[in-house]
């Protein structure tokens, strides 16, 4: 049994020892191959996965070409919560299961969001720049803001992370609004005493800070457009901890330049590997850009590696019901497979 662990160099884990331990414990004798992926060497990678039983990746494009080549492939395990790099329809046709990690970093992303929010509101980057770069000691260098307890936080996406952010914001005394047309009554009941569900128009009218935690889908690709930034009445701070594709970056830059928003904290950009030299969002005192690191802690890394590998073990040993999250499960839908 062959398992391929592969991704872009920037996304590979610094060590694969935990992954190998989990896989060999559950699949004794399995062959584990680790590889760095490059778009300009995709043909070599396709040869590598031709006889693979499982692929573990976060960002490699899993499309019709790959699935048609990897004729022995049974499962693609995504070591991330997002899976928009996988053609799910093609996976179904080829009878290949797809299992992202359902949850491993909710606490980490929620804490990071609150950290970014505090840094924006208290002008932390501006002060650090003034001290480190200008060697100035000026408490009034930046415009003062209100206390958090006087501000309203608007959240788009009230899933696990959105709810965790809401709980923490409410504990800080903030008023919290949220938009989520997909949330179940059961999930909303968990935070109903802390969050008020409203329309997008109401949130844009009332929020001092807007934080995005939506799952990416066809309905919210480039959701934050120039028109939506214009609807933000209170010149709020904008935070994106979800997916870069949900924001029109040209519109975001224009909103910052015009003062439609007061600042931004962005853990994701339009591309996973941006050109930081030319990106117009980099280098601003009121913009925090971090390298998709909100998830990053020793605890989350351990959970991510363990769960994504255990998913492979459970599926290949005939226990799909034990997989954390299956978004494509050929064992439940055995029709229309080409393999």
93 is catalytic: no
Q: Give the contacts of 58 (CB within 8 A, at least 6 positions apart).
A: 7, 11, 78, 79, 80, 85
Contact between 326 and 98 (Cβ < 8 Å): yes
Pick the catalytic residue from 103, 202, 272, 285.
272
Using alpha carbons, list the distances in angstroms from residue 259 to 238, 264, 269, 303: 12, 11, 20, 41
| Three-state DSSP state, 76 | strand
272 is catalytic: yes
Q: What is the DSSP letter of 172?
A: T
Pick the catalytic residue from 92, 93, 168, 243.
243
Report d(CA 149, CA 147) in Å as an integer: 5
Q: What is the DSSP letter of 318?
A: T
Report d(CA 214, CA 179) in Å as an integer: 10
Pick the catalytic residue from 16, 50, 284, 292.
292
168 is catalytic: no
Active site residues: 243, 272, 292
């Amino acid at each position: 049994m062959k398992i391929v662990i592969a991704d872009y160099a920037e996304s590979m884990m610094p060590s694969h020892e935990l992954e190998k331990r989990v896989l060999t414990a559950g699949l004794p004798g399995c062959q584990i191959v680790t590889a760095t992926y490059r778009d300009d060497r995709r043909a070599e990678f396709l040869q590598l996965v031709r006889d693979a039983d499982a692929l573990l990746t976060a960002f490699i494009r899993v499309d019709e070409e790959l699935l048609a080549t990897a004729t022995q492939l049974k499962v693609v395990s995504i070591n991330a919560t997002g899976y928009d790099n996988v053609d799910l329809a093609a996976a179904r046709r080829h009878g290949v299961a797809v299992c992202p990690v359902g949850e491993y970093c909710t606490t980490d992303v929620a804490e990071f969001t609150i950290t970014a929010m505090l840094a924006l509101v208290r002008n932390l980057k501006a002060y650090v720049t003034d001290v480190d770069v200008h060697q100035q000691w000026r408490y009034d260098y930046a415009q003062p803001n209100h206390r958090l307890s006087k501000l309203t936080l608007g959240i788009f996406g009230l899933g696990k992370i959105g709810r965790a952010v809401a709980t923490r914001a409410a504990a800080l005394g903030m008023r919290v609004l949220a938009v989520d047309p997909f949330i179940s009554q059961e999930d909303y009941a968990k935070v109903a005493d802390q969050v008020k569900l409203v329309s997008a128009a109401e949130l844009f009218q009332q929020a001092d800070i807007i934080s995005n935690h939506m799952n990416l889908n066809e309905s919210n690709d480039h959701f934050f457009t120039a028109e939506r930034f214009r609807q933000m009445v209170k010149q709020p701070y904008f935070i994106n901890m979800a997916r870069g594709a949900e924001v029109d970056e040209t519109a975001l830059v224009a909103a910052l330049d015009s003062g439609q928003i007061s600042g931004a904290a962005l853990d994701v950009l339009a591309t996973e590997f941006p050109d930081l030299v030319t990106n117009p969002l980099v280098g601003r005192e009121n913009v925090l850009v971090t390298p998709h690191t909100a998830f990053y802690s020793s605890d989350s890394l351990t959970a991510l590696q363990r769960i994504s590998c255990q998913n492979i073990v459970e599926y290949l040993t005939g226990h799909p019901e034990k997989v954390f999250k299956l978004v494509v499960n050929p064992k439940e839908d055995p029709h229309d497979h080409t393999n």
